[in-house]
Amino acid sequence: MNFFAALRSAWRSLAANTLRSFLTMLGIIIGVAAVITMIAVGRGATDRVQEQMKGLGSNIMLVLPGGVSQAGVRLGAQTRQRLTEEDATAIALEIPEVQVAAPTSRTTGQLVYGNTNWGSTIIGVNNDFLEARDWPLAAGRLFDAGELAGSAKVAWIGSTVARELFGDQDPVEQMIRVRNIPMTVIGVLAPKGQNSMGQDQDDVVMVPLGTLRNRIWGGDATSRLKRVGSISVKVREGQDMRQVEVAIRDLLRQRFKAQDGAEDPFVVRNLTEILQAQEESSRVMTLLLAAVAGISLGVGGIGIMNIMLVSVTERTREIGLRMAVGARGRDILAQFLIEAVTLSLLGGAIGVALGALATWAVGQFGGWQVALSADSVLLAVGFSALVGVFFGYYPARRAASLLPIEALRHE
């Protein structure tokens, strides 16, 4: 009995009990579909976190002002505006592991071009900000030294602002009004996408720090002290982020003359670690869900073994007849093993289709980012085949070990 004859025999046997065969495959179908869907959702979440990490830039830390307390009530982070441009300069110069330290401040306002207006975020920056955030210009040029020092009326705009204000026009060298202050667009930022909070990073206009302080805010004591809202610190490749974080804390505590044991008057956030923790948690959740799906495959395998044992009992006389006319034990073993594997593979194929449909539905209607890959499909189908071999071997072995005389006597 060759392989194809055994396959035809197995197929006829399964087709003779269609409903029972389908119910037997149900566990495999659900397990394979669950494995594919969970892996796709998990990889989509991981890809999303990696995109957010790229959006932030590599090896990034954020230094924010600390909080203040009034009458025993702590008002939270960023309620004490003490960071200055000089702090950013000190971090860049005194900590060798730091590549750049870019001070920034931000506000919001209305942008106007012709008859079109758009509300956006306005950020005061210098050229180091683009290096810190790995954010190149898609068109235009950087601020020159005179524009930075002289609070020039120039700006970079994000791709969302460019689309909303200019449509298909080239924004470079065009004049816009930022809070009713005319400014020349000298650059368009490359698209960055959403951040980890779902905010559009491209909905932004960037101006020199001095321009934000002196022209948009109007200039005050805070402007004279060159206060800033945050400092983006980019650490050189290969450096220990934790050691650099400690060095930044020590330096700023010295500059702020913080007493021993007192709280830091600032906050240092390692954004890369935060996103890596998110990635690790999504990976753990994916493994957990895949384990649950694997249990479903195991349950499906037990169903296959159960139904194959029933099949051996029902077909005992057929087995005895085959042995009586010359079939060997390995032929009977191969026949029942092929039946079990066929059940698993057929269930796996249906599960793949169902898993692909479920993955599409999750991405389409749930709004989740999913990533269906060929290796997850092969993994699920391969595992279902192994389930068929593992759980089908015992019934097949039992059928092959029957004695012809006892099998023919079976009622």
At 7-25, the pLDDT tens digits run 776 677 777 777 777 777 7
74 Cβ partners below 8 Å, 6+ apart? 67, 68
Which has the closest alpha carbon to 136: 159, 112, 160, 105? Answer: 159
Q: What is the predicted pLDDT for the residue at 409?
A: 58
N-terminal to C-terminal alpha carbon distance within the chain:
26
DSSP 263-323: PPSEEEEEHHHHHHHHHHHHHHHHHHHHHHHHHHHHHHHHHHHHHHHHHHHHTHHHHHHHH
8 Å CB contact between 331 and 374: no
State which H helix or E strand residue 24 sits in: helix 18-56
Give the 3-state secondary structure percentages of the chain, helix then strand then coil, rounded to 5. 55, 20, 25
Cα→Cα distances 110→87, 173, 203, 204, 225, Å? 30, 19, 12, 11, 27
Quick check: helix, strand or coil at residue 224?
A: helix
Which residue is associated with the tokens 């650490």?
235
Where residue 316 falls (left for φ over 0; alpha for ψ -120 to 50; beta otherwise) is alpha
Could you tell me the two tokens for 296?
């479903």
Dist. CA 131–CA 115, nearest whole Å: 34
Q: What is the predicted pLDDT for the residue at 224?
A: 59
- Please list the ranges in the chain whose pLDDT falls under 50: 69-79, 221
Q: What is the predicted pLDDT for the residue at 338?
A: 77
Question: Alpha-carbon torsion 193, 198, 201, 204, what sign?
Answer: positive
Residues present in the chain in total: 411
8 Å CB contact between 42 and 372: no
Q: Is 63 exposed, middle or buried (0-12, 13-18, 19+ CB in 10 A)?
A: buried
Dist. CA 217–CA 222, nearest whole Å: 10
8 Å CB contact between 226 and 84: yes
351 Cβ partners below 8 Å, 6+ apart? 28, 29, 30, 31, 32, 33, 35, 36, 380, 384
pTM, entire model: 0.60
Q: What is the predicted pLDDT for the residue at 272?
A: 66
Question: Alpha-carbon torsion 348, 309, 334, 398, what sign?
Answer: positive
* Backbone φ and ψ of 7, nearest 5°: -65, -40
* Backbone φ and ψ of 54, nearest 5°: -65, -35
Which has the closest alpha carbon to 186: 130, 128, 143? Answer: 143
Which has the closest alpha carbon to 208: 131, 263, 147? Answer: 147
Could you tell me the two tokens for 295?
């249990």
Identity of the amino acid at 18:
T
